Amino acid sequence: MTRFITFSSGKGGVGKTTLAVNLSAALHKYGKDIVLVDGNVSTPNVSVLLGMPKLPITLHDVLANKAKLEQSIYLHPSGFKVLPAGLSMKYDKVKRKKEIAHVMNELLGKTEFALIDCAAGLGDEAKQSLQAGDELVIVTNPEIHALTDALKAHEYAKKIGIHTLGVILNRVNNKDWEMTQGNVEEFLELPVIGMVPEDENVKRAISMKKPLVHLYPKSPASRAIKRIAARLAGEDYRTIEPETFGERVLRFFGFE
């Protein structure tokens, strides 16, 4: 059975797309069959982050009934598959005859995981991506304005009957002005399923258009992302990745 997981932020700029790309790479590393779907059809970024900007057939063509689904899925060198949205301005004028949910129905049974990168906000496009998933992961920063928008996404998911798995706190600096994990869980009434620290290697990987988890597998953000991927896959992270000294210390004191 295919798991359709939508990644939403409610707010742009929190690092959601970068996280979806790296979770796809990490899940593939753990032996899972993945299709990463760029559900942000107006301002897509997945193919840019992966160094695949010029592709002949995209999700836009499938939505317009001008191509079949299998023609628009590409194998990235990292090993996972990508269903990109088109970057060209010509796609702005394409009349869509399908919704993303219809395209996801065509993926059913053809992959283990379909990760849908949702457009920011709660406009019609974002709502289509939310409706296309069975599960939701909210990506946010530990700041009150980001959490307020994340709450709106969670409330909409509840309204349409989508199960929210939890929250990923991204770009965590552990500053005294940031919301703590407990604050976030109380505010959103959701569990925090992962915390990804601020890490300069993320920007380096973006500039090189490659997944962080491949370029810098031992970096703090990379290890945090792989821990989240293991959780989504139902695997024990410690049996897959050797623990660092710091992780052993944290586990000893009950922080992991």
Please give the Cα distance from 182 to 248 (Å, whole number): 22
Any idea what the Cα angle at residue 99 is, between residues 156 and 22, rounded to 5°? 70
> Residue 93 has what pLDDT?
57
φ, ψ of residue 184 to 5 degrees: the values are -65, -45
Q: What whole-number distance in Å separates Cα of residue 59 and Cα of residue 87?
A: 10
Q: Where are the alpha helices (DSSP H) in 50-108?
A: 59-63, 100-107
**Spatial CA neighbour of 39 closest among 143, 147, 124:** 124
Which helix or strand (DSSP H or E) is residue 28 part of?
Answer: helix 16-29
The pLDDT, as a whole number, for residue 252 is 61
Q: What is the pLDDT of residue 87?
A: 81
The strand pairing partners of 35, in sequence order, are 81, 114
Q: Give kind and range of the element (H or E) at residue 37.
A: strand 34-38
d(CA 46, CA 243) in angstroms, rounded, equals 30
For the record, the structure tokens of 110 come out as 């053809």
93 Cβ contact partners less than 8 Å away, ≥ 6 residues apart:
none
| Burial per residue of 100-137, b for 16 or more beta-carbon CB atoms within 10 angstroms, e otherwise | beebbeebeeebbbbbbbbbbbbeebbbbbbbbbebbb
Token duo for residue 20: 């979806």
**CA dist 3 → 7, 61, 109, 114, 196 (Å):** 13, 24, 9, 6, 23
Q: Which ranges of 133-219 would DSSP assign to H, the alpha helix?
A: 144-160, 181-188, 200-208, 212-215
Per-residue pLDDT for the chain (256 aa), expressed as one digit of tens each? 899 999 999 888 899 999 999 999 999 999 999 999 999 988 899 999 999 988 999 999 999 999 999 999 999 999 999 999 988 656 565 567 789 999 999 999 999 999 999 998 888 889 999 999 999 999 999 999 999 999 999 999 999 999 999 999 999 999 999 999 999 999 999 999 999 999 999 999 999 999 999 999 999 999 999 999 999 999 888 777 766 666 666 566 555 5
157: closest CA among 187, 182, 132, 179?
132
